Amino acid sequence: MKKILSLILALAVVLSFSMANAEETLNGAGATFPYPVYSAWAYDYHKTTGVKLNYQSIGSGGGIRQITNRTVDFGGSDNVLTPQDLNKDNLLQFPAVMGGVVPVVNIPGVKEGELRLDSEAVCKIFLGEIKQWNDKKIKDLNPKLNLPDKEITVVHRSDGSGTTAIYTHYLSGACAAWKDKVGYGTSVKWPVGIGGKGNEGVANYVKRTANSIGYVEFAYAKQNKLAHTLLKNPAGNFVAPSFDTFEDAADTADFNAKNHFATWLTNAPGKNSWPIAGATFILLAKEKKDSNMKTVKFFDWAFKNGDAKAKELIYIPMPKSLKDKIRAYWKANGIY
Amino acid sequence: MIFSKKKNPVDLIFSFITSVASISVILITAGILYVLFTESSLSIEKFGFFKFLTLVDWDPVKESFGAAAALYGTLITTVLALIFAIPVAVGIAIFVTEVAPNFLKGPVGIAIELLAAIPSIIYGMWGLFTLAPIMAKYIEPFLQKTIGKLPLVGILFEGTPLGIDLLTASMILGIMIIPFTASISRDAFNLTPAVVKESAYAVGATKWEVVKDVVLPYSKLGVFGGVAISLGRALGETMAVAFVLGNNNQITTSLLDAAATVTVKLANEFTEADKDIYLSSLYYLALLLFVMSFIVLAIAKFLILKAERRSNR
């Protein structure tokens, strides 16, 4: 009995000691897409400042709900909240990092970056209106390619995802038929195709199924060595997905602090812009000044020191002009 | 026996603890039902019961939700899985109890139990990376060339075989529930009194006759019980099918087509459900699954009880 008592006592001492020394912790929850880069930043940030960041990747929907209920210090979301939504729940919003979405194909005989598509072609393929790879529309865009007389297998995400939101937003902006029939969102009612779970699921199906087309985050296309397509952007140029073309999209996009940066990065007007990109956002509770200062401090640090890490993980760091706009936004709201 | 006549304090504490434990089960179940109901109230109000049950549409953008396709997928995969699993499981149980030489009984029994211990996510990954390609390349084209050519049955095997479909999902589910059915059936078979079996052998019955006329009738209750438990597991199984079913919201006659089950829908869409009505509809689906599992298991239990009473007479 004595032994147990002393054990409990020892445990209590240890516990109270660790509690007194409890580190400063920031709690965030939300989108799964930026989780790898946030945790990499958090690791480095902890090493230099001793402040711990705990980010739970529960999904954008959960992130929005948690910050609306004020259970976390910040929420993460791939969805762009409108100024009305933000004002209703008394929230602030700013972009933290960006990513690109890339159509990938598996057509025997067609190599990476060879297939040229414009938004009308992509749209019609995903609507099921273009059924064969040797359709006249695709042939006209690719006179030099020998396209097979085979049925196209469309692969999309089976789970709800920010990647899908960005991709369908691109399609909605690029063609009216898509906007009418399907629209955009984290999950939509797909007219054709099979669903793969997660980026890895889509990558796997595209790799395995001949004559297929799917869409994945840029990082997955690179890692899985999938053949990406070239896309015609609104400026009329065929572009390949790369850090440069993504950054160009971010540079030319109309991010505005007045509407809390509520801008999609799809169909950006720049000459070299990749048309399917998106930022992932941080949501803050307006009235919680203290915790907001801490969160902002972290992201300010990440903006200064985190670009290399982000690129390593194949995320697109934000251009300097945008970072400055965000800092001004923080200052205007008294948290910087 | 909370208030027994003997007021031994240890006994009192003991019976108190056990009653708290068992009452908590009821409370937890009721609590889950309550939460499911309140969370889905928004969707219940908007779509009602019959409309939600019969609507095939599932469109988060236009906020139109119906459960028909998901419920259909759930029933089809469960029934198919049982069709795959029961013969194999009963066969295993008969082999282990009646046919196998003694030195084989142990290893086979342990192997079955190990199969039950594999986490379902591993079945899912295995299904996606191993079984689905095999199905798409060999088994499904073969089925299309053979039974797919028959009239009537042919519609079950239409379409391009991609390996992500009802058939693959049902097979994985079937493999998953074999161990439950098999080990409960085995225990049931073992309960057949040796005297009865030996008497049958003594009057010249063959092994087949003993199994058919003595062991199986004697233990069918146990087998029923095993099937009921597997049924519950198959209805609620999530990760193993989430990877190989595609989550396509459609009612399809072809087994080679992607579909959705209630659990697959929940697992795929819960995290990113951003609108209230969307989330509420997912809760509504979960509520329906809860009620459906409850009814199915209640029916199974009822059948077992009835059979038990008959055999006691």
Tokens of A321: 């002009």
Nearest to A232 by CA among A138, A111, A130: A138
CB contact under 8 A, B162 and A32: no
Looking at the complex, does the CB of residue B63 fall below 8 Å from at least one CB of chain A? Answer: no
CB contact under 8 A, A186 and B58: no
Looking at the complex, does the CB of residue B243 fall below 8 Å from at least one CB of chain A? Answer: yes
Residues A177-226 pLDDT 10s: 999 999 998 889 999 988 888 888 899 889 988 899 999 999 888 888 89
Name residues whose C-beta falls within 8 Å of residue A154's C-beta, 6 or more positions apart in sequence: A125, A126, A128, A190, A192, A193, A194, A212, A213, A214
Q: Report the first-to-last Cα separation within chain B, whole angstroms.
A: 29
Q: Residue B160 burial (CB < 10 Å; 0-12/13-18/19+)?
A: middle
| A208 → chain B, closest CA residue | B133
User: What is the per-residue pLDDT for B1?
Assistant: 47
Q: Are strands A25-30 and A153-157 parallel, antiparallel or unpaired?
A: unpaired
CB contact under 8 A, A189 and B246: no
CB contact under 8 A, A197 and B268: yes
Residue A19 in this model has a pLDDT that exceeds 80: no
Q: What is the DSSP string of B84-115?
A: HHHHHHHHHHHIIIIIS-HHHHHHHHHHHHHH
Fold classification of B9-312 is MetI-like fold (1.10.3720)
CB contact under 8 A, A187 and B133: no
Looking at the complex, does the CB of residue A64 fall below 8 Å from at least one CB of chain B? Answer: yes
Looking at the complex, does the CB of residue A32 fall below 8 Å from at least one CB of chain B? Answer: yes
- The ipTM is 0.78
Looking at the complex, does the CB of residue A160 fall below 8 Å from at least one CB of chain B? Answer: yes
Task: Mutate one of A189, A192, A199, A213 to test the B interface: name it (highest B CB count within 10 A).
Answer: A189
Residues A252-308 pLDDT 10s: 888 888 889 998 889 999 899 999 999 999 999 999 988 999 999 999 999 999 999
CB contact under 8 A, A183 and B243: no
CA distance A168 to A174: 10
Residue A3 pLDDT grade (very low, low, confident, very high; cuts 50, 70, 90):
low
Give the DSSP H/E element, type plus range, for residue B132: helix B132-134
- For the question of whether the overall pTM of this predicted structure is more than 0.95, the answer is no
User: What is the per-residue pLDDT for B222?
Assistant: 78
Residue with tokens 């469109």: B59
Residue A170 in this model has a pLDDT that exceeds 90: yes
List Cα–Cα distances, A166 to A33, A158, A171, A256, in angstroms.
12, 15, 9, 19
Residue A16 in this model has a pLDDT that exceeds 60: no
CA distance B27 to A58: 28
CA distance A289 to A240: 42
CA distance A318 to A252: 12
Name residues whose C-beta falls within 8 Å of residue A95's C-beta, 6 or more positions apart in sequence: A255, A261, A279, A280, A281, A282, A318, A322, A326
Q: Shortest Cα distance from A174 to chain B (angstroms)?
A: 17
CA distance A226 to B232: 41
Looking at the complex, does the CB of residue B269 fall below 8 Å from at least one CB of chain A? Answer: yes
Looking at the complex, does the CB of residue A186 fall below 8 Å from at least one CB of chain B? Answer: yes
Contacts with A32 from chain B: Cβ below 8 Å = 271
Q: Which of residues 204-223 of A touch B (CB under 8 A)?
A: 204-205, 208-209
Give the DSSP H/E element, type plus range, for residue A43: helix A35-49
> Averaged in consecutive runs of 10 residues, what is the pLDDT profile of chain B (313 residues)?
65 92 94 94 92 90 91 92 92 88 87 86 89 89 85 81 88 90 86 87 90 86 82 86 86 87 90 86 93 84 75 62
With the C-alpha atoms ordered B269, B156, B158, B148, is the resulting torsion angle positive or negative?
Answer: positive
DSSP state of A74: E
CA distance A296 to A292: 6
CB contact under 8 A, B164 and A62: no
CA distance B164 to A199: 16
User: What is the per-residue pLDDT for B19?
Assistant: 93
CA distance A300 to B12: 62
Q: Are strands A25-30 and A74-77 parallel, antiparallel or unpaired?
A: parallel
Q: Which of residues 67-86 of A touch B (CB under 8 A)?
A: 79
Q: Count of A–B CB contacts within 8 Å? A: 95
CB contact under 8 A, A204 and B128: yes
Nearest to B52 by CA among B222, B286, B260, B252: B286
List Cα–Cα distances, A26 to A29, A39, A72, A332, B256, in angstroms.
10, 12, 8, 22, 48
Contacts with B164 from chain A: Cβ below 8 Å = 194-196, 205
Looking at the complex, does the CB of residue A198 fall below 8 Å from at least one CB of chain B? Answer: no
Looking at the complex, does the CB of residue B128 fall below 8 Å from at least one CB of chain A? Answer: yes
Nearest Cβ partner for B243 among A160, A182, A201: A201
Q: Shortest Cα distance from B270 to chain A (angstroms)?
A: 8
Contacts with A61 from chain B: Cβ below 8 Å = 270-274, 279
Q: Are strands A116-117 and A230-232 parallel, antiparallel or unpaired?
A: parallel
Name residues whose C-beta falls within 8 Å of residue B189's C-beta, 6 or more positions apart in sequence: B93, B94, B97, B98, B215, B219, B222
Task: Mutate one of B274, B275, B277 to test the A interface: name it (highest A CB count within 10 A).
Answer: B274
| B243 → chain A, closest CA residue | A197
Q: Shortest Cα distance from A304 to chain B (angstroms)?
A: 30
Nearest Cβ partner for B272 among A61, A195, A204: A61
CB contact under 8 A, A183 and B62: yes
Say if CB A139 and CB A118 are below 8 A apart: no
Domain ranges of chain B: 9-312
CA distance B64 to B66: 7
Residue A9 pLDDT grade (very low, low, confident, very high; cuts 50, 70, 90):
low
CA distance A318 to A271: 18
φ/ψ (deg, to 5) at A21: -95, 10
Say if CB A93 and CB A216 are below 8 A apart: no
| B59 → chain A, closest CA residue | A189
CB contact under 8 A, A194 and B270: no
User: What is the per-residue pLDDT for B68?
Assistant: 92
Residue A43 in this model has a pLDDT that exceeds 90: yes
